[in-house]
C-alpha cells in the first residue's frame, strides 16, 4: 500500500506515533558503554540470541514449549529504515522507546545497570535523533540508581530530539510511586519532560508480575501489561505524585485504554473513604488524571460495537487524554487506520492522532502541513 493511500484516512492531520521500538541489541550499544561492561555487551552480542530473551541483558523466564508457525519477530536496525517504514504507514513523527531494554528494571547489578542506561542514552542520541528525520527519543531512567538518572535527565534536557523520560515498568521494584524515585520525577518536571511508562509481559518475583501460574502466554499477555500499569498508577497516586509534582505529565503506553475508567472510579471511591490517609491529594484522583495523565491506544481494544470504546474513553477525558500509538515494528502493531472505524469527530481524531502529542512533547508542525497552509487559495 502506498504512502498516499495510507494518508487518505489522516489527510490534513498530524500523525504522531507515541510507541515506536528501535532495535537496541547489546552489540549496537557496546561502543557507547564504559569498561568493563563494554566487554559484557560485546560478549552478549556474539552469542546466539532469542527475541526479548538475552540473559544478563533482557532476562526472561520462558517455561512454555515453542510451537512452529506464529508471528515472526521483527526489528528495525537503522534510523533511515525506521523513517522509511513510518512514512509508509503515514506517520509524521515517532517517539522511540527501547525493545530489549523494556526488561531493564529486572537487572540487579547496580553498576552494570547504571553503565547500560548511560550507554543506551548516548547511543540513542548519537545514532537515532538526527535533525529532520522525525524521530524523537526518551532518556531511559535507571530505577536501580536514581541519583545517576537525575544527572542523565539534566545532561540531556534541552538536547534536540529528546522529548521525554522512559520509566522501565516491567518488573520494577519498588513501583514508580515509591519516594526513592522522587528526585527522578522532580528532575523530569524541572526539565519539562513527560515521563513514559511502558511495560512488557515478564515473570518475576516482584508485584504485580508473579504470573508464573499461567500455563501459556495467552494468559500472561492478557494481564501482564495492564496489571503493571494499574499497579504503577495506584502507586503514583497513593504517594501523591501528581499533587506533589503538579507540572509533571505522565504517559501510560502499551496497555490499551479499557482499564483506565475502572481504576479512576475505584481510586475516587477510596479517596473519599480514606482521604485522611492521603492528605496531599486535595482533589479527586480523577481530577489529577484528567489534567496530568495520558493514555496511549495500543493495543486498541476491539469491542463488537466500536462506539463502546469511544464511550469508555470519554470516562477518563476522551480525546483530550488519549494518544495514538502503534507499537511498530512488532507483529501486533496497530496501523493508524485502526482508529478510523471509531465513531469520532474530526476534531477528536486530530487530537488523538497527533495534536495532543505535538503539544505534550513540544514537537514542530510537520513541514508537509505548513507548506499546504502557505499555498494560495
- Residue 11 has what pLDDT? 67
Q: Is residue 320 in some structural domain? A: yes
When pLDDT is averaged across residues 302-326 and rounded to a whole number, the result is 97
Instruction: Of 27-36, 135-144, 359-368, give the lowest mean pLDDT range.
Output: 359-368
When pLDDT is averaged across residues 284-310 and rounded to a whole number, the result is 97
The two beta strands, 16-21 and 93-97, are parallel
- Residue 374 has what pLDDT? 52
**Structural domain range at position 352:** 12-59+70-374
Q: Is residue 257 in some structural domain? A: yes
Q: Is residue 5 in some structural domain? A: no
Confidence grade of residue 165 (pLDDT, cut at 50, 70, 90):
very high
| CATH number for 297 | 3.20.20.140
Question: SS3 for 153-205, per residue?
Answer: HHHHCCCCCEEEEEEECCCCCCCCCCHHHHHHHHHHHHCCCCEEEECCCCCCC
Q: Is residue 156 in some structural domain? A: yes
- Residue 370 has what pLDDT? 74
Instruction: Of 126-140, 189-203, 206-220, give the lowest mean pLDDT range.
Output: 206-220
Residue in the block written with cell 506515533: 17
- Residue 8 has what pLDDT? 47
Cβ–Cβ < 8 Å for 273, 255: no
Q: Is residue 124 in some structural domain? A: yes
First to last CA, the chain: 31
Q: Is residue 334 in some structural domain? A: yes
| Cα separation values, 138 from 18, 162, 208, 257, 310, Å | 10, 6, 24, 22, 29
Which set of grid coordinates corresponds to residue 291? 489534567
Strands, DSSP E only, in 211-368? Answer: 250-253, 293-296, 322-323
Count of domains forming the chain: 1
When pLDDT is averaged across residues 22-48 and rounded to a whole number, the result is 95
212-216's contacts with Cβ under 8 Å and 24+ in sequence apart are: 212/61, 212/63, 215/64, 216/64
Which residues make beta-bridge pairs with 165? 139, 195
Q: Is residue 286 in some structural domain? A: yes
- Residue 377 has what pLDDT? 47
Mind listing the pLDDT tens digit for each residue in 219-270? 888 888 899 999 999 999 999 999 999 999 999 999 999 999 999 999 999 9
Q: Is residue 64 in some structural domain? A: no
- The pLDDT of residue 61 is above 50: yes
When pLDDT is averaged across residues 156-183 and rounded to a whole number, the result is 97
Which pTM does this prediction carry? Answer: 0.93
Residues 6+ apart with CB under 8 A from 2: none
When pLDDT is averaged across residues 350-355 and rounded to a whole number, the result is 97
Amino acid at each position: 500500500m502506498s504512502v498516499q493511500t495510507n494518508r487518505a484516512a489522516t489527510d490534513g492531520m498530524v500523525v504522531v506515533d507515541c510507541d515506536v521500538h528501535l532495535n537496541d541489541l547489546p552489540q549496537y550499544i557496546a561502543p557507547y558503554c564504559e569498561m568493563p561492561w563494554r566487554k559484557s555487551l560485546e560478549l552478549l552480542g556474539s552469542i546466539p540470541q532469542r527475541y526479548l530473551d538475552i540473559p544478563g541483558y533482557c532476562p526472561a523466564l520462558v517455561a512454555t514449549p515453542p510451537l512452529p508457525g506464529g508471528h515472526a519477530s521483527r526489528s528495525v536496525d537503522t534510523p533511515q529504515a525506521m523513517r522509511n517504514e513510518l512514512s509508509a504507514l503515514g506517520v509524521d513523527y515517532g517517539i522511540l522507546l527501547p525493545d530489549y531494554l523494556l526488561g531493564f528494571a529486572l537487572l540487579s547489578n547496580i553498576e552494570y545497570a547504571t553503565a547500560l542506561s548511560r550507554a543506551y542514552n548516548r547511543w540513542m542520541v548519537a545514532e537515532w535523533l538526527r535533525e529532520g528525520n522525525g524521530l524523537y527519543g526518551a532518556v531511559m531512567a535507571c530505577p536501580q540508581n536514581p541519583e545517576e538518572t537525575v544527572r542523565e535527565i539534566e545532561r540531556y534536557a534541552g538536547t534536540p530530539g529528546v522529548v521525554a523520560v522512559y520509566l522501565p515498568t516491567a518488573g520494577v521494584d519498588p513501583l514508580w510511586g515509591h519516594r526513592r524515585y522522587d528526585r527522578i520525577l522532580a528532575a523530569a518536571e524541572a526539565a519539562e519532560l513527560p515521563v513514559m511508562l511502558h511495560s512488557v509481559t515478564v515473570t518475576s518475583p516482584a508485584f504485580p508480575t508473579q504470573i508464573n501460574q499461567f500455563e501459556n502466554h495467552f494468559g500472561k499477555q492478557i494481564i501482564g501489561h495492564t496489571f503493571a500499569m494499574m499497579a504503577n498508577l495506584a502507586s503514583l497516586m497513593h504517594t501523591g505524585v501528581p499533587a506533589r509534582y503538579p507540572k509533571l505529565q505522565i504517559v501510560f503506553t502499551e496497555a490499551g485504554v479499557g482499564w483506565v475508567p475502572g481504576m479512576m472510579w475505584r481510586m475516587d471511591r477510596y479517596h473519599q473513604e480514606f482521604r485522611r490517609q492521603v492528605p496531599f491529594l486535595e482533589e479527586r484522583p480523577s481530577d489529577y488524571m484528567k489534567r496530568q495523565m495520558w493514555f496511549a491506544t495500543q493495543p486498541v481494544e476491539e469491542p463488537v460495537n466500536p462506539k463502546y470504546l469511544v464511550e469508555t474513553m470519554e470516562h477518563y477525558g476522551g480525546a483530550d487524554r488519549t494518544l495514538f500509538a502503534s507499537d511498530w515494528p512488532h507483529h501486533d502493531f496497530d496501523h493508524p487506520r485502526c482508529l478510523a472505524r471509531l465513531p469520532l469527530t474530526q476534531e477528536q481524531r486530530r487530537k488523538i492522532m497527533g495534536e495532543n502529542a505535538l503539544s505534550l512533547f513540544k514537537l514542530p508542525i510537520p513541514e508537509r502541513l505548513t507548506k499546504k497552509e502557505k499555498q494560495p487559495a
